[in-house]
Amino acid sequence: MRATTPLSEAGTVPAAPLLEINDLQVEFKTYEGTGVTLDLAHLDVFEGESFGLVGESGSGKSLTALAVLNLIPNPPGRIIRGEILFRGTDLLKLPPQILAKKRGAEIATIFQDPMSSLNPVLTVGDQLVHVLRTHKGLTAAAARARATELFEMVRMPDADSVLRKYPHELSGGMRQRVMIAMALSCEAPLLIADEATRNLDVTIQAGIIDLLAELKEKTGVTVLYIASNLSVVAQLCTRMGLLYAGQIVEIGGTREVLESPGHPYTRALLDAIPRIGDASKILKVTEGFPPNPIAPPPGCRFHPRCPAAVGECSRKVPPAVRLGPGHEVYCFRAGWSN
């Protein structure tokens, strides 16, 4: 079962945001200079929802995840302003020891590359048991039993024998299942999945997507899903936000955004995706390439490539324009159509 009803359609006003990001700016210092790489005006993820954050490489989507965990390597990166509220508490103001406890226990993460996130010299079972004993204080035997249970939950074939295997003995899909089991092990209310299906075959990816949707249904966990692939988010998330060069350009219910995109960038992205059996076949191309994250263009960061740009786009940062319930676009030409 997949929850695909957008919030606006369900007619319910969602509960309080579990995660709220306000006016967050992350600065990077490099030999080329210093620049504000991430500049998030506002982003919220509500209790119990799946929120998809989509952007190209370098758009700041993984940086957002790292900021929430306060794991941005400093130097070169530094959070210069803003707040990240988790259940009303500003994570940026917490002492490091308290935040460290929240990581894993309250905010779990699935990183995109399971091979480099798993320890190659320990069996996956030992690694999972270790997590359960540290965070949950379980005895060795109880942790073992729980590990098997978790492996069955992520539909690991032959759970017991896989527990005794080393990461290199597993396929990419199975390693990703191990990562998901670990992320679920502490029953954290917020799960950040950073490109959880990247580099997997489509057949394996389909299985992982179904698994995530099923687990979401079963456990009610809130998911912040970070992806460069629109279609994965379309299948998993009820709401989504698009990032371009470190700024949110559009946010809203997945269906609204994909069916009536309001930002020229969202349109460009949708037009650029090749599809099977598309008769016309010539893809619409957006010229140029994403800006240097150290020196992004002034105003709307998409304006140098935007087919709808007008004079003020290069001078002022566009404000949020409301297109529908919960559907906002940061654009002076919101709703423009070509």
Partner 1 sequence: MVQLTEAEAGQVLVETEALKKYFPIKGGLLQRPVAWVRAVDGVDLVVRQGVSTGLVGESGCGKSTLVRVILRVYPATAGSVRFLGRDIVGLPERKLSFVRRNAQMVFQDPYWSLNPRMTVGDVVAEPLTVHTRLSRAEIARRVGAALEMMRLAASDAQRYPHEFSGGQRQRIAIARALVLRPRLLVLDEPTSAIDVLAQAQILNLLRSLQEEINLTYLTVSHDLAVVSHLCKAVAVMYLGKIVEYGLTEEVFRDPLHPYTRALISAIPEFDSVEKRQRVILTGSVPSAIRPPSGCRFHTRCPEAETSCAEREPEIIEAAPGHTVACLKVRGSALRQRT
Q: 167 by DSSP, 3-state: which?
A: helix
* Shortest Å distance, C-beta 171 to partner 1: 5
202 counts as binding partner 1 under rule CB under 8 A: yes
**Residue 14 has what DSSP assignment?**
P
* Shortest Å distance, C-beta 200 to partner 1: 9
Task: Indicate the residue among 90 and 158 with the shorter CB distance to partner 1.
Answer: 158
229 counts as binding partner 1 under rule CB under 8 A: yes
**Could you tell me the sign of the dihedral formed by the alpha carbons of 114, 118, 120, 122, in that order?**
negative
Task: Indicate the residue among 1 and 141 with the shorter CB distance to partner 1.
Answer: 1
Task: Indicate the residue among 153 and 269 with the shorter CB distance to partner 1.
Answer: 269
Task: Indicate the residue among 109 and 205 with the shorter CB distance to partner 1.
Answer: 205
282 counts as binding partner 1 under rule CB under 8 A: yes
243-272: contacts with partner 1 (CB under 8 A) = 254-255, 258, 268-269, 271-272
Segment contacting partner 1 by CB under 8 A, of 38-46, 96-104, 278-286, 314-322: 278-286
121 counts as binding partner 1 under rule CB under 8 A: no
Task: Indicate the residue among 185 and 205 with the shorter CB distance to partner 1.
Answer: 205
Closest to 308 measured CA to CA, from 267, 271, 270, 255: 267
| DSSP assignment of 288-312 | S-PPPTTSPPSSSTTGGG-TT--GG
Spell out the residues 6+ positions from residue 293 whose beta carbon is closer than 8 angstroms to its own. Answer: 28, 35, 37, 58, 60, 245, 246
Closest to 42 measured CA to CA, from 245, 207, 211, 249: 249
56-75: contacts with partner 1 (CB under 8 A) = 56-57
Closest to 41 measured CA to CA, from 99, 104, 83: 83
278 counts as binding partner 1 under rule CB under 8 A: yes
304 counts as binding partner 1 under rule CB under 8 A: no
Q: What is the CA radius of gyration of the chain?
A: 21
Take residue 149 and report the two structure tokens written for it: 């249970």
> How far apart are alpha carbons 332 and 273 in whole angstroms?
25
Q: Which of 172, 297, 325, 326 is the binder for partner 1 (CB under 8 A)?
A: 172
> How far apart are alpha carbons 12 and 75 in whole angstroms?
43
234 counts as binding partner 1 under rule CB under 8 A: yes
4 counts as binding partner 1 under rule CB under 8 A: yes
Task: Indicate the residue among 287 and 338 with the shorter CB distance to partner 1.
Answer: 287
Task: Indicate the residue among 15 and 273 with the shorter CB distance to partner 1.
Answer: 273
Angle at 212 between CA 255 and CA 179, to 5 degrees: 135
Q: Which residues bind partner 1 (CB under 8 A)?
A: 2, 4, 56-57, 157, 171-174, 201-207, 209-210, 228-235, 254-255, 258, 268-269, 271-278, 281-287, 289-290
